[in-house]
Amino acid sequence: MAAHAAEPDAVLPLMPERTPKALRRALAEDAPQLLPDFDKHWKRAIADTYDLGPVPAFVARWWCEYAIARDPGLDAHVRDLYRRAEETADFAEAQALLEEVSKIRYRMRELEPGE
């Protein structure tokens, strides 16, 4: 899957391995603004519970977060879609905007490590 880049010649950071440790390292390097939320989520969902069951869902969520955040143009587009959905009084318009975000996030799930 071709990555969406903010500029035609922009080179996006590669997707890391699908592990919490690799995702955290990638976030620290390329999207440090997300690191506090990542760490809070890890502590609440995994560390404090001593339950490894949620790890796949945790990785899936943060995989998409990183995939979007590593591309400034895509990140801005997604944030704009959320903003527009929040500001509109038209339910159908808000729904369409949020469905577009959902489709973007779904596409991000398909990325592989190294892409």
Per the structure, the count of domains in the chain is: 1
For residue 13, being part of any structural domain is answered with no
For residue 79, being part of any structural domain is answered with yes
- 0.95 surpassed by pTM: no
- Domain boundaries, position 100: 20-109
Contact (CB, 8 A) for 24 and 35: yes
Contact (CB, 8 A) for 6 and 71: yes
pLDDT tens track for 3-33: 444 456 679 999 999 999 999 999 999 999 9
For residue 8, being part of any structural domain is answered with no
For residue 7, being part of any structural domain is answered with no
For residue 97, being part of any structural domain is answered with yes
Contact (CB, 8 A) for 27 and 66: yes
For residue 50, being part of any structural domain is answered with yes
For residue 14, being part of any structural domain is answered with no
Structure token digits, residue 110: 């398909």
pLDDT tens track for 37-94: 999 999 999 999 999 999 999 999 999 999 999 999 999 999 999 999 999 999 999 9
Contact (CB, 8 A) for 56 and 45: no
For residue 15, being part of any structural domain is answered with no
Helix (H) or strand (E) holding 38: helix 35-42
The pLDDT score that the predictor gives to residue 10 is 76
